[in-house]
Amino acid sequence: MKRYLLIAVLGATQLANVMAQEKPKPQDTEFYTPVPAVVTPGKTIANVPSDAIVLFDGKNLDQWVSTNDKSPAKWIVKDGVITVDKSKGNIETKKTFNNYQLHIEWLIPANINLEGQSRGNSGLFLASTGPGDDGYELQILDSYNNKTYTNGQAGSIYKQTAPLVNANKKPGEWQTYDVIWTAPVFNEDGSLKSAARVTVLFNGVLIQNNFELAGPTQYIGKPFYKKAHGATPIKLQSHGDKSVPISFKNIWVREL
């Protein structure tokens, strides 16, 4: 009897160990190699095209709402710049989009003294599919001499792919993303017809070349297309950590 009891205990222990090992963890989808080569970007600023929709002209947040309750966005606008107010949550565009070209400029303060994912963390959600962090995230982070998992550094499609190169400028300097977004298409039954794709220039340097997304970005676990959706807002993230507030300016979009 004792023998069978011992076998049962050992079996339960092994099962518990297997279950503990199988529980998804954030680290499961983080990788650190290969490390993208560093490229020094040029000093250029894109002008607004005549057919663009200006999402922020330096004056107000009239084109934006709070993601949580769709009330007017309450981030800080001063001297032609939007600065994240972490107490107010994420903001997103009033207008929804399918395929588009987007230009946005962002800045992490020069006096930042944190490391890794806390070094000025935010995100540009190219399509926002829910009130939380659901959507397709292009990572915003200070990745100038800042080591973290490469599919979580600036310019990554978060937890899916690293940028082709590291084109970061120093903290305290304005950075630019120019994005070509192709939205996913779904069949009438909700199944995926064609995946989302994205091309990104970071400070004028190509870092994502028509990359096909495996689904909305996820912090834990593998990405997949959870549900069908149509046109969606563009979202800016107020990251809930100790990282310093990030600023944005010169935001415009061209529908394709």
Gyration radius of the chain over CA positions: 21
Predicted pLDDT at 21: 64
pLDDT classification of 6: cutoffs 50, 70, 90: very low
pLDDT classification of 157: cutoffs 50, 70, 90: very high
- Residue in 87, 143, 154 with CA at minimum distance from that of residue 115: 143
Residue-averaged pLDDT of the chain: 87
**Which amino acid appears at position 125 of this protein?**
F
Length of the chain, in residues = 256
- Residue in 175, 184, 62 with CA at minimum distance from that of residue 122: 175
Predicted pLDDT at 19: 56
Report, at the CATH architecture level, how domain 2-255 is classified. Sandwich (2.60)
User: Exposed (0-12), middle (13-18) or buried (19+): which is 215, by Cβ within 10 Å?
Assistant: middle
Say if residues 232 and 96 touch (Cβ distance below 8 Å): yes
What is the tens place of the pLDDT at every residue in 86-136? 888 899 999 999 999 999 999 998 888 777 776 767 899 999 987 666 899
Predicted pLDDT at 7: 46
Query: What contacts 130, CB < 8 A, 6 or more positions away?
Result: none
Percent of the chain whose pLDDT exceeds 90: 62
Q: Helix, strand, or coil here: 29?
A: helix
For residue 2, give both structure tokens: 């004792």
Bridge-partner residues for 161, per DSSP?
A: 157
Predicted pLDDT at 82: 96
Range from 45-54, 82-91, 134-143 carrying the lowest mean pLDDT: 45-54
- Residue in 250, 157, 255, 246 with CA at minimum distance from that of residue 209: 157
More confident residue, 38 or 128: 128
Predicted pLDDT at 86: 84
Predicted pLDDT at 242: 64
* Domain map (residue ranges) of the chain: 2-255
pLDDT classification of 32: cutoffs 50, 70, 90: confident
pLDDT classification of 13: cutoffs 50, 70, 90: low
Strands 37-38 and 165-166, by their bridges, are: parallel
What is the tens place of the pLDDT at every residue in 158-207? 999 999 999 999 999 999 999 999 999 999 999 999 999 999 999 999 99
Mean pLDDT (whole number) for 45-53:
79
What is the tens place of the pLDDT at every residue in 235-256? 999 875 566 789 999 999 999 9
Predicted pLDDT at 54: 95
Range from 10-14, 47-51, 146-150 carrying the lowest mean pLDDT: 10-14
pLDDT classification of 228: cutoffs 50, 70, 90: very high
